[in-house]
A and B are shown apart, each in its own frame.
Chain A
Amino acid sequence: MDSPAANAAFAKQIDIKFPLLSDMNRKMLTDYGILKKYDVKGDSYEWALRANIVIDKDGIIRHIEGGDSAVDPNTAVSVCTDLHKKSAAQ
């Protein structure tokens, strides 16, 4: 798990302008069903899937994908663009 300090160093390194968040107690990952358990030769491990999630201003999930498909963010970006257009039109 990356701590806020580790995230701060990484954000500085690649000049990120948005928040990097740490789920130190894994609660969010668990609540969202992203944290998966794996059994490897009798030992249990927890591992988070790669995931993209878009949540609108009303707190409703408008896009969610996990695993291999989430490596490509284009679908999520498209949903963001649509939400942005709708907000601008209102």
Chain B
Amino acid sequence: MKRLLVACLLFALAPPLAPPSEQSQKKEEVAKLSLKVGDKAPDFTLLSDQWKTVKLSDYHGKKNVFLAVYVLAFTGG
């Protein structure tokens, strides 16, 4: 069966210095995201690990997309 989902991982930011303190991070962790269910997903263009351009709109009408934003992937956290 044709696979309908495309999973992507965004290896996000490593801070330039030490990570924020636990207290300040905790405060932001509960912050509301700006998007909600039912909103149109903003288009994006990102570079893959194969140095290929990946555009969200390329999947329009073809596949569902699962985005996982995973911070500090190398730490095992």
* A residues neighboring B (CB under 8 Å): 1-2, 4, 6-8, 10-11, 16, 18-24, 26-29, 31-36, 38-40, 43, 45-68, 70, 73, 76, 80, 83-84, 87-88
Contact = CB atoms under 8 A, between A and B. Distances in A.
A18 B50 contact: no
Residues of B contacting A: mostly: loop
Given A18-B8, A59-B57, A51 B30 contact: no
Interface residues of B, number: 63
A63 to B, nearest CB: 7
B66 A54 contact: yes
A1 B12 contact: yes
Nearest to B32: A33
List the 6 closest A-B pairs by CB distance, nearest first.
A33-B34, A48-B12, A7-B49, A2-B11, A28-B44, A67-B29
A52 B19 CA distance: 21
A42 B73 CA distance: 27
A87 B13 CA distance: 34
Contacts of A66: 31, 33, 69
